[in-house]
Amino acid sequence: MNLFAEFLQVVAKAVATVAAERGVPLPDLSRVTVEPPRDRSHGDISTNAAMVLNKAFGMPPNLLAQSLSALLSAHKSVAAADIAGPGFINIKLVASEWPRVLRAVLAEGGAYGTSTLGCGKKANVEYVSANPTGPLHVGHVRGAVFGDALAELLTASGYEVTREYYINDAGAQVDVLARSAYLRYLEALGETVGEIPAGLYPGDYLKPVGQALAAEHGTALKDKPEAVWLPIVRERAIEMMMALIRDDLAALNIRQEVFASEKALHESGQVKETIDELRERGLVYQGTLPPPKGEVPEDWEDREQTLFRTTGFGDDIDRPLLKSDGSYTYFASDVAYSRNKIRRGFDELIYILGADHGGYVKRLESLGSALAANRKIEVIVRLCQLVKLYRAGEPVRMSKRAGEFVTLRNVVDEVGPDAVRFMMLFRKNEAPLDFDFAKVTEQSKDNPVFYVQYAHARTCSVIRNAAEEGLKPAKTPEFDLLSDEAELGLVRRMAEFPRLLEAAAQAHEPHRVAFYLYDLAGDFHALWNKGKDSPHLRFILTEDVKLTQTRLAFLMAIRYVLANGLRILGVRPAEEM
RNA sequence: GGCCCCGUAGCUCAGCUGGAUAGAGCAACGGACUUCUAAUCCGUAGGUCGCAUGUUCGAAUCAUGCCGGGGUCGCCA
């Protein structure tokens, strides 16, 4: 149940009635909002209908508001519909509406908040997609968590979601990986390799690859030319690196179902096919690109390349498909990959990238329209800003040259997947984020992870304590017994949850769920503390069984909303702390 | 120089795609606190929403131009 969506229908009906009376065609309602007012004193639900539609009706907003409010106040759920300010209609609901919300939460349980907003559209969320050359590091964490939460949010909103990882297993970097692994192979055979030369990957994580190769091939690869061993070593190394990466992701409770290979796009001929198709459509030409505006790089020289006319689809410049030596660019496989996704039937292609990939947004978007054929493909790119690590206020230093970087594992092992996930989502994605190891493990109100988790644990603990005294949540609770402003405030907040999820899904902004939960937890803790001064507000009142049972049912409703929100963020709701 | 993101209270940030008197949390100040789970709570104060024009009933939000900070800019991935 979505209270605000229900009332949008009520308002729409009132609008239609007035339109019929005045002989005006039914106006477009897309700008009409039905939302909780910022200020409580303005009632429970507020709509801007009269201000947005007054032109279509050819009457001043105040007059239209009067007609609408007269119709609205006749509705059985409405206690009053007042006109305020420049033409807002503020609706006050009858008291019985709030028990209705709570009964709906209990009836829907884990499904409360879900919607059919997406109409079953197929969405592909691609995230992480780190090069398979080593373990994931802290820079990958935010995108990983964001992508995963967004996928969950869209699933809850009625999309059919595929979680996908694109493996860059075809470029020069995997050859570097292979050469690095080969040294480890020689090392495993007992040779002294000394320090790993600059330009190769020095990390210890390649030692197991060397050992595996030694075990599987013995000395067979040893004195062979690179052309012989490289493909073998490369394939094995990539395989093992991907296993490592999957483990890293699993530590964060992330499981993507599709791992798409760039190499496979080449081997299956899809890259060539794609370019041929574009050629047939006259979108490919030989040409040179202009140097960057302003400061021209010193080693700049014009080179002729095979270019794709992406400017026809909203890009700033045309993009190269073939390098000047005739080999494929990385972008060529990107084009083939986009085409591949579209052919798999996705309506929405969503990319989660790091902020340093800002330059990719336009070219990816242009591919959506260039390859859509006659379909409508939506390409949505979300960039995640940098995460700065702190330890008790001090920035954590990393030296890339020495090969020392904080891995995803380091972070997850230290603070746990739940805290990592919540903190990564407790900021909008395009804002930089500070992550302090000390703070996220702190057991205090200053730590939002703890604050929200504790709210959930508290609901569980009260229900447990009550059970020990033989008190169970009522089967048919009498929610009209809840009349304190703190209780009603909490119900109002819960009523907003479905609306909030829809808005968050539409905007592709899972952080809104995190902030909502923080507010909800705050409301709950406030009510709890009110019970200190006002014992009649406590949840367990042994002398009033009926009220206690109702409040326990109320607690269950709160718990559902907290748990449903946390599930979207991928944070496990704690039952005790 | 082009493009992208950011600029909101002393600090860290929200602000529901244009709504009403711009909100939280820290920090500051004043109170409460032997608790159904201890890891607190209530209140006060704090603002030229970077600046300037424009769009309209109405702008932190949209458009244009500046200012400041960050990122990025052919064949690498």
Return d(Cα A477, Cα A494) in angstroms, integer.
17
pLDDT in the model for residue A404: 63
Q: Which residues pair with A137 in a beta bridge?
A: A407
Q: Does the complex come out with an ipTM higher than 0.90?
A: yes
* C-beta within 7 A of nucleic chain B, residues 452-511 of A: 454, 457-458, 460-462, 465-466, 496, 499-500, 503, 506-509, 511
The arithmetic mean of pLDDT across residues A114-118, rounded, is: 95
Q: Over pLDDT 70: what percentage of chain A?
A: 98
**Residue A483 confidence (pLDDT) above 60:** yes
Q: How many residues does chain A have?
A: 577
**A349 — pLDDT class (breaks 50, 70, 90):** very high
**Residue A296 confidence (pLDDT) above 80:** no
pLDDT in the model for residue A295: 65
Q: Over pLDDT 90: what percentage of chain A?
A: 72
* C-beta within 7 A of nucleic chain B, residues 318-347 of A: 320, 323-325, 329-331
Q: Which residues pair with A416 in a beta bridge?
A: none
In this complex, the answer to whether residue A524 has its CB under 7 A from any atom of chain B, a nucleic strand, is no
pLDDT in the model for residue A402: 53
**Regarding beta strands A305-308 and A319-322, do their DSSP bridges make them parallel or antiparallel, or are they unpaired?**
antiparallel
pLDDT in the model for residue A41: 84
User: What is the H or E stretch that residue A446 is in?
Assistant: none
pLDDT in the model for residue A238: 97
Token output for A562: 């907290």
- What lies within 8 Å, CB to CB, of A377 at 6+ separation is A342, A346, A347, A348, A349, A368, A369, A371
In this complex, the answer to whether residue A100 has its CB under 7 A from any atom of chain B, a nucleic strand, is no
User: What is the H or E stretch that residue A42 is in?
Assistant: none
pLDDT in the model for residue A38: 83
Composition of chain A by helix, strand, coil, percent to 5: 55, 15, 35
In this complex, the answer to whether residue A421 has its CB under 7 A from any atom of chain B, a nucleic strand, is no
Residue A107 burial (C-beta neighbours within 10 Å; 0-12, 13-18, 19+): exposed
Residue nearest to nucleotide B33 (CA to C1'): A532
Q: Which nucleotides of B are covered by protein (CB under 7 A)?
A: 1-7, 12-17, 19-26, 32-33, 35-42, 57-58, 70-77
pLDDT per position as a tens digit, A36-83 = 988 888 899 999 999 999 988 988 889 999 999 999 999 999 999 999
Return d(Cα A558, Cα A457) in angstroms, integer.
11
**Residue A85 confidence (pLDDT) above 70:** yes
- What lies within 8 Å, CB to CB, of A557 at 6+ separation is A102, A105, A106, A494
pLDDT in the model for residue A438: 84
In this complex, the answer to whether residue A13 has its CB under 7 A from any atom of chain B, a nucleic strand, is no
pLDDT per position as a tens digit, A353-408 = 999 898 899 999 999 999 988 888 999 999 999 898 888 778 887 655 555 678 99
Largest pairwise CA distance in chain A: 92
Which nucleotide shows the minimum CA-to-C1' distance to residue A363? Answer: B3
Order across the sheet with A348-354: list the strands: A258-261, A160-167, A122-126, A348-354, A378-384
Residue A280 burial (C-beta neighbours within 10 Å; 0-12, 13-18, 19+): exposed
pLDDT in the model for residue A532: 81
HEC profile of A302-353: CCCEEEECHHHHCCCCCEEEECCCCCECHHHHHHHHHHHHHHCCCCEEEEEE
Q: What is this structure's pTM?
A: 0.95
- What lies within 8 Å, CB to CB, of A264 at 6+ separation is none
pLDDT in the model for residue A105: 96
A479 touches A495 (CB < 8 A): no
